Structure 1
Amino acid sequence: MSIELIWAIILSFAIFAYVVLDGFDLGIGINYPFIRSKWERDIAMNTVAPVWDGNETWLILGGGGLFAAFPLAYSVVLPALYVPLTAMLIGLILRGVAFEFRWKDKSKTQIWDKAFIIGSIGATFFQGVALGAFIQGIPIEGRAFNGDWWHWLSPFSIFTGIALVFGYGLLGSTWLIYKTENKTKRHMQMLGKRFFILTLLMILIVSLWTPYLHPEYFEKWFSYPRILYVLPVPLLVAISTVCCFRALIKNNDLQPFVWSIILFLLSFIGLMISIYPNIVPPSLDIWQAAAPKKSLQFLLVGVLIFMPIILVYTSFTYWVFRGKTKPDESYH
């Protein structure tokens, strides 16, 4: 367990935490077009009002950690993904502005609702596009990105963008199942089932498509005896799929959200299996991209101090605002 691998695990954790935590509140915006009444939209937004901005802490930690611990990877990935990452940030800004102004400027609620929808879907879609472009590989010559401005745009990256919209839609609807009740909860269960089917279909297609992007991916998933080591992942996906569907149809509150997170976790593990030991597929590995060992050791001290603090205050926030969100409650 080298210091470089420890840092790769830390960054993987930060990225996954961001995907789940910001994923479900972006999912609220993805579900918004299917929530027609104003009072239901108010409840939906109130479920994430106390936590949504804190969720983006993990995005900062992931991006800052990549710059500090793997500067070569940072210098390669950013030029390759400038367009989708910039579009994602614009979407996040639009989502945040709409979130705040919706409560302040009540005469233009419908306009801000549309901005909230566009920002949420746009940020999610381009986040998925960036992920797809990253998985399909970034050409490197020497120590720099060696591709054109539109290298990120491909059928696979567009598909992963759409897939992530459906996936975050599932996280958002299952979060609302957990946080709402009565009519709103029943509505979210209906939406949750639809997003679940679409997400499952996307997982299946991406899982079958990814091994054919690079020979190394195919060998990791289908060559013997490696297939024996990775076989538990698809088996666990199948089990989680059954459990998630049962939770959706059995009127459970928290279980659909938990099983949705597990599906995301297993998909994330599958991605890590495909690209490891590379930090920038297909040719730049963790050790080549890492900062000097002394720098990593120094930075690790800070992370070991501040990451537990972030985890504690995040957990405390969710604990304080646990339970159902009532129609008469507001955090603004």
Structure 2
Amino acid sequence: MFFDKPVTKDAKGGAIAIGNFDGVHCGHRRLLIQLKSLAKRTDGPVVVVTFDPPPLRILRPELSPKPLTTHESKCRLLREAGADFVVALRTSHELLQLSAEDFFDQVIVGALGAKGIIEGPNFRFGRDRRGDVDYLHQRCRTLGIEFELAAVEMDSGDWISSTRIRKEIELGAIQAANRLLLQPYRIHGVVGTGARRGRTLGFPTANLDAISVLVPAHGVYAARVSNVEGIEASIAKSAMHQPVALHIGPNPTFGEDAKKVEAHILDFSADLYGASMELELLSEIRGVQKFPSIEALRAQLSKDIQTTREICLAHKSHPVQSLRKELP
């Protein structure tokens, strides 16, 4: 019907939560803990319902922000955080034209057979977003479906939300964003050709193009290779988990204004052209700057590489622990 694939029998009759779940952060983990408790009481699976693509991309594409995760990564993270099933609604004008009543009857009851629902206080659904949690609670009570408001996860006095994390990434505050996420922030792209200037400087780079997620602010970052596909297996294996000094932005030293994403993979020299590569960002290092000479640039790049090594080593000893927190 409205799903990207048929909902299996095992995924029906569960406790559900519906939303975009962009980024899959610590607030989402809190909701999943609560959802798992509800699923135990109602004797059903933990089911997360998400949208592909997010509704705003269909309704107002000019206002739709770049996502924090790909759809595939989002589904994987939700399962790792405790979902038994992640089902995706195929977002279309037909789906978005359903009234709140029809969405409840056809999707929540008809397709999913929900026994319990948890949603946040700002949840809206149905045509023109006319359905809210009060309406949802009323319909659930009528049909004997358990309803709960999602507990809010706070950090430093503010809600943890995808919007908040997006703002941190737009500022280049990767450490602040990572503290709220269930894994270090990742960008995905295809390795293309660049000016090959880095090779002549002694610091060859892989230029990432076609990046589908939000790119952080201009700057230099410590990162690490988290996945490589579409290339010879032995080369991909040798690149995995290698530290990366990542430069995002223009190259003012050479008078270039074009924004580039250039990854210098430490202790690695093979050609990755055409490969699909994913990097996990660990920390910001410095901003983009213009250097008075090539020698000054080389000296700074050497410092950036040493800083990257230290950050990656420290992260290896003290990785992000969010996903390792035990679910009840």
TM-score (norm 2): 0.23
Structure with the bigger RCO (C-alpha within 8 Å, sep 6+) is 1
Q: Highest Rg: 1 or 2?
A: 2
Normalized per residue, the structure richer in strand is: 2
Normalized per residue, the structure richer in helix is: 1
TM-score (norm 1): 0.22
